Structure 1
Amino acid sequence: PADSAAAERTVRDLRVAVERVDPGAVVGGVTATAVDTNDTGIRDRSVIIPVVLAVILLILVLLLRSVVAPLVLVGSVVVSFAAALGVGALVFDHVFRFPGADPSVPLYAFVFLVALGVDYNIFLMTRVREESLRHGPREGVLRGLAATGGVITSAGIVLAATFAALGVIPILFLAQIAFVVAFGVLLDTVVVRSLLVPALVIDLGRRAWWPSRLSRAARHM
């Protein structure tokens, strides 16, 4: 079958053999196109994901005037994305019985989930920082979460429902994107942004805001 793993191996072996005879020759066809698409998707993920994370980390460092807190936030985004992708793989294989996965799904899901997750991070942590300057690190987290938690959760539910609507379109790529992004947004807003991130920042205390002046001022609060 043209979409089988054996066909992909045959195309790769054929390309190696043909190149020995004529380096300018190409091997085409449905299977060859699928092989090239998969390889391109893997290469794009390997390049784009680290670059996006590095840019986001830099923006958070400049915004929060800290190094530790942005590292925690970027780490939480990566964990949320990995969890959504893992659950999606299990559901696709054992519940929906999809024949496979579109190679571009992880990259598109990453872009959507990281963009949304960073928005929520900025919304939460800028308020936490403002409150921490006045009330100390622990009270600042509690006040910041109380002020923004409801808005973040409500926005997450609306966004998840919006992306889930794509699942009714009978296209494999859209169905997979719809599930992964909808589940990831709910996980991010209900668990990660409401529980995990505030708990980590409280545990870190003043160290979360190093090396800004808040990390030094917090010692006396």
Structure 2
Amino acid sequence: MEDRFSAITNLRGDRKHAIFGVYDGHGGAKAAEFAAKNLDKNVLEAVAGKRDESEIADANDVKGGSCCVTAMFSDGNIVVSNAGDCRAVMSVGGVAEALSSDHRPCRDDERTRIETTGGYVDTFRGVWRIEGSLAVSRGIGDAHLKKWVIAEPETKTLRIDQDHEFLILASDGLWDKVSNQEAVDIARPFCLGTEEKPLLLGCKKLVDLSASRGSLDDISVMLIPLDQFI
């Protein structure tokens, strides 16, 4: 199991301030562990102006790498960032809305960026890979491919309103087998209180569904109700 997660709630004593993350390691769990232990506090320090963004560590000294998706809540806003193919999906009145876009070599802009900087992208058994190796084009670590596998995230910010019900953060072990809308449909009863069982069971149901469909990848799922942050 190379996935890791992090959750920091009640920041500065305010229940509406929090940051969550899911980290999908590859080539070992060290980069995911590094990110889970350090990324949250580094981002918070950067937001507070105590750390320059360029100083945020990129785990180049550990083996392998890690994709990640994070969600930071502050003053009724949500900031979602991702690097790689971990994904954030929000339920808006029961309709799935992706808040992140997977970074894979098959994406036209990512492929162009890689090839422009001297790398190459090809397919192996139907999977697009960088230098015949990695199937994601952004992430933390991956020192041997760092010229092409960049750690720069894509970020989306929005104001939380009453239609925004809950957020799903998950590694690609879920999304490779379960669609965005299907995941929202399954998780919704657990997140809106129409089921007597806790959120953890909703996460487990999604994990079990992906596994039952043949996923052999690590699967991590986080469910975050949004009404507490409005």
Where on the TM-score scale, by shorter chain, does this alignment land: which range?
Answer: under 0.3
Structure holding more helix per residue: 1
Which has the greater radius of gyration?
1
Structure holding more strand per residue: 2
Please, what TM-score do these two structures have when normalized by structure 2? Answer: 0.26
